[in-house]
Amino acid sequence: MADATRTNTSEVGRLLRGWRERRRVSQLELALRADSSARHISFVETGRSRPSEELVLRLAEHLDVPVRERNSLLLAAGYAPRFTETPLDDAALGPLRDGLEQLLRGYEPYPALIVDATYDVVAANRGLTALLSALPEELLERRPMNAMRLTLHPRGLAPRIRNLRAWRGHLLAQMERQIALARSPRLRELYEEVAAYPVPEGADRAGSAGPVSYVALPMVLEHDGHVLSFVSSISTFNTPMDVTVAELAVETLLPADPATAKYLRTELG
């Protein structure tokens, strides 16, 4: 029993130290945030002290550890997982699904979608499906449908994105930040796949549309003979208590200019 406890203590200490170093937080700073002491944090990280369940959760909160990984910390410390992982189609998440679907419909005619932690699309509205309508069937029928693949694949949206290099750089940097914050082999695999896609010839034609002032980097997209510009906003849930819910993100594409807004209202409104 003593050996098992020492193993758990050493493992949770190693994991906590890894998260602390990843967040670039000193033991003293973490101790102040978590109402502990630098000495106790040091003892936990070196396996000399077993943290309480409450301390594990408090440290994880202040280190912004993803909910899925908080369960791993608890298990490593010898405690039961605290956070459930409910399938999205489970009846318990029915009210949440209904609310999200209402949100997507309410955003129409502007495009919006919901993705999971690896950008698999779990729901989308008519505004988004209209933008994807011209893509080849093999991309649209591949399951799960993945937002990064659809955007960056050379047969996806990529050839139609006028400022592809800038938008591609933004998406890849976004994925790199997520990989640095959360240990996800699946996300790393997806990143390596989409980063290897060739950039189609004729990329970066945004200048041909004339100078436009934007408040944020837009995605400038050719669609059905029109040039549409969107800025992206991503929303997640506050204080999630379920792994599935914690990993959902709602992305909305807001028209970046009057012409785009008018087109969407006229064609899809």
Q: Clarify whether residues 225 and 186 are in a common domain.
A: yes
Final residue of a structural domain among 28, 52, 76 = 76
CATH number at residue 21: 1.10.260.40
Please check the confidence at residue 91 and state whether its pLDDT lies above 80. Answer: yes
164 and 129 within one domain: yes
Looking at the fold, whether 70 and 124 belong to one and the same domain comes out as: no
Q: Which residues contact 23 (CB under 8 A, 6 or more apart)?
A: 63, 64
Q: How confident is the model at residue 5 (pLDDT cuts 50, 70, 90)?
A: very low
46 part of a folded domain: yes
Instruction: Give the pTM.
Output: 0.86
Cβ(191)–Cβ(185) below 8 Å:
no
Cα-atom radius of gyration of the chain, to the nearest Å? 22
Query: Could you tell me if residue 236 is inside a domain?
Result: yes
At residue 153, the pLDDT reads 95
pLDDT in tens, 42-80: 999 999 999 999 999 999 999 999 999 999 999 999 999
More confident residue, 9 or 189: 189
Tokens representing 186 are: 């699946």
| Alpha-helical segments (H) within the chain | 2-22, 27-33, 38-45, 53-62, 67-76, 94-107, 126-132, 137-140, 147-152, 164-181, 185-195, 243-246, 258-268
Residues 147-167 have pLDDT tens digits of: 999 999 999 999 999 999 999
241 pLDDT more than 50: yes
Structural domain harbouring 48: 2-76
Domain count, the chain: 2
> Does the structure show a pLDDT above 70 at 213?
no
Considering the domain architecture, whether residues 60 and 122 belong to the same structural domain is answered as: no
pLDDT computed for residue 202 by the predictor: 67
Residues 106 and 220 in one domain: yes
* Residues 16 and 122 grouped into a single domain: no
* pLDDT on residue 212: 54
